[in-house]
Amino acid sequence: MKRIFDTLFSRENMLALLLCLILVALTIFTADTSPTWIYQGF
């Protein structure tokens, strides 16, 4: 059981999970702002 726990919560998996959570948070917090660069040509 400890071996499975150590494999699931290894340092690489924790860093990957942290990176994924940061990307999700950035997507959520920046989704409400309209992208002004799309409308610059009009």
Q: What is the pTM (predicted TM-score) of this model?
A: 0.59
pLDDT at 17 over 80: yes
pLDDT at 21 over 90: yes
Q: Hey, is 15 helix, strand or coil?
A: helix
Instruction: Label residue 6 by pLDDT band (50, 70, 90).
Output: confident
